[in-house]
Amino acid sequence: MFTGIVQGAGQVVEKRHAGGGMIFCLEAGFDLTDPEEGESIAVNGACLTARDIQGRRFLVDVSPESLSRTGLGFLQVGDKVNLERALRLADRLGGHLVSGHIDALGRVEERRAAGDFTLFTFSLDAGLAKYVIEKGSITINGVSLTVNSCSGNHFSVSIIPHTLVVTNLGLLSQGDFVNIEVDIIGKYVEQLLSEQSVEADSGSRINPAFLAEHGFLK
């Protein structure tokens, strides 16, 4: 799990195809203290496994599934990526719970200045728009952000100057694609409610009468 609080930027050093997927060599712009071979690291929000760690450099394998869901395949050597190491249980949860499993690509529809801040408007697949709520959380390229407003399949976020500097969000322009992970809590709630509805319709809900009938209660 992650928090969406990016630890720093990294750079793509090498990119090559391998077994239907891709292998990237990345270099972090910060020291990887106590690196562990095989640890999880979020790259532009996508949870990947770091291996062959040498100082600040490491390799990650990107599967065909991840390539189909994310914009990682569009990265070129020299591109800036957002990096976050996995959450420790003792860490502060500064953003929100982020799984590192990208739902889909979103698109920058507008970027404009709003005082000292920068206002972005994004579009995303209509099937995901139901999980985006005003003042709710959303992850864009691995950055935990608060939704300012939403309508249809569009939503806007306001980004502070610090975030634009330390992440690659400052490099975005209209038409660019970004990795989006919606708030995982909304998806769990939807799944639980849909299962309860099915159980109620089928009469299969487990209750004291059901347990007594089948010999679990006397």
Which of these, 29, 51, 35, 22, lies nearest to 85 by C-alpha position?
Answer: 35
For the chain, which residues make up each domain, given as ranges?
8-85, 104-190
Q: Which two tokens stand for residue 107?
A: 């698109």
Predicted TM-score (pTM) of the model is 0.86
Kindly report the backbone phi and psi dihedral angles of residue 115, in degrees, each rounded to the nearest multiple of 5, phi listed first.
70, -130
Q: Are 24 and 60 in contact (CB under 8 A)?
A: yes
What CATH number labels 8-85? 2.40.30.20
Domains 8-85 and 104-190 share a fold: yes
Asked: is 104-190 a CATH 3.30.230.70 domain? The reply is no
Per-residue pLDDT tens digits of the chain, which is 218 residues long: 899 999 999 999 999 999 999 999 999 999 998 889 999 999 999 999 999 999 999 999 999 999 999 999 999 999 999 999 998 877 878 888 899 999 999 999 999 999 999 999 999 999 999 999 999 999 999 999 999 999 999 999 999 999 999 999 999 999 999 999 999 888 888 888 776 655 555 555 656 676 667 666 65
**What is the structure's pLDDT at 204?**
53
Instruction: Tell whether the torsion through CA atoms of 8, 52, 34 and 85 is positive or negative.
Output: positive
